[in-house]
Amino acid sequence: MTKSKLTVYLAAPRGFCAGVDRAIQIVERALERYGAPVYVRHEIVHNRHVVETLERKGAVFVEELDEIPGKFPVVFSAHGVPKSVPEDAERRELMYLDATCPLVSKVHREAEGHHAAGQHIILIGHAGHPEVIGTIGQLPDGAVTLVETAEDAERLSVGDPDNLAYITQTTLSIDDTIGIIAVLKRRFPNIHGPRKEDICYATTNRQQAVKAIAEKCDLMLVIGAPNSSNSRRLVEVAVSAGCPSAYLVQKAAEIDWRWFQDVRTVGITAGASAPEILVQEVIAALRDRFEIDTDEVSVTTETTHFKLPRALTA
């Protein structure tokens, strides 16, 4: 039977960012240097393929340090951790490596600076996300108020409206965040913001790449994990930018081929914690069923690189 034709637009940049690449390298280098097992608190990045690959190499993933049965090396995930976690590791005499993305660490330092200046901090982010938990955990209880939506910002009540600062989770939708910030600035004209955008370059670039192809596509596939904030935002951005339907899949096997009824053009992107091998598997699955023509649409070239901890390079 003749295959129907399908045009595939590949968004670029997509997939791994510098912070994710660094975090994975930290676990791999720790395994090389110290041998297995190396424990990792929380998923190093939100992607099962990555986690399972590292498990096969000897990494053991736990949610809390009390699950570690001895004095083994431990790595903290790319999302960052509350200050109580390294303090607990030191009490337990555990050698630890911090794989927190440097751009998340920048937000932590901003929070500390605002707190030192006596300002109450408004954190724009998603409740329960590890990055949000880690950022709030940099400061004493009550120092940070979480705002998730523009409606939250409208309802916000603060003790001293002239002594506020805001920071943001690094993996949010740019457009949604702009709206929340606009509400905060209207309600609290003296609020202090970051000198430079908190949303990371990789989140921004991947959202811009999706916007560049969204209107051309009948369907968008976003490759990423359901607990990956930046991947879920890409689905939202695709639809808001004009793509009729968009789906988040972790791998090719999760594609529902009924989605492709009357589809002639499909966009593909991947969240910042999804490896390129998963993109190529999706393309291969499409090629099995369609006669495909691929077109990579690039909005920028990424050159950012983060250094590994000195303990792994000395």
Q: Which helix (H) or strand (E) holds 147?
A: strand 144-147
Give the DSSP H or E segment for 8. Answer: strand 5-12
Q: Say if residue 158 is in the same domain as residue 212.
A: no
Looking at the fold, whether 131 and 118 belong to one and the same domain comes out as yes
Q: Is residue 211 part of a domain?
A: yes
Residue 134 lies in a domain: yes
Residues 236 and 168 in one domain: no
* Candidate list 64, 131, 148, 197, residue with the active-site label: 131
Structure tokens at 68: 């570690």
CATH number of the structural domain spanning residue 92: 3.40.50.11270
Give the pLDDT of residue 176.
87
What's the structural domain count of the chain?
Answer: 3
Q: pLDDT, tens digit, for every residue of 275-308? A: 999 999 999 999 999 999 999 999 999 999 999 9
Q: Is residue 303 part of a domain?
A: no
Identify the pLDDT of residue 2: 86
pLDDT of residue 299: 98
- CA 86 distance to own-chain centroid: 22
> Both 247 and 211 in a single domain?
yes
Least Cα distance to 63 among 84, 95, 45, 40 occurs for 40
Same domain, 210 and 239: yes
With a CB cutoff of 8 Å and minimum separation 6, the contacts of 144 are 111, 120, 121, 122, 123, 135, 136
Q: Which residues belong to the annotated binding site?
A: 17, 46, 79, 101, 129, 170, 200, 228-230, 273
- In this prediction, residue 111 carries a pLDDT of 97
Assess whether 190 and 207 both reside in one domain. no
Ranges under pLDDT 70 in the chain: none
**What pLDDT shows up at residue 146?**
98
Summarize the annotated binding site for isopentenyl diphosphate as residue ranges: 46, 79, 129, 228-230, 273
Q: Which domain holds residue 285?
A: 5-16+201-298
281 is catalytic: no
* Predicted TM-score (pTM) of this structure: 0.94
Amino acid code (one letter) for 222: V
Residue 191, C-beta contacts closer than 8 angstroms, at least 6 positions apart: 122, 164, 165, 166, 184, 185
Co-location of 83 and 171 in the same domain: no
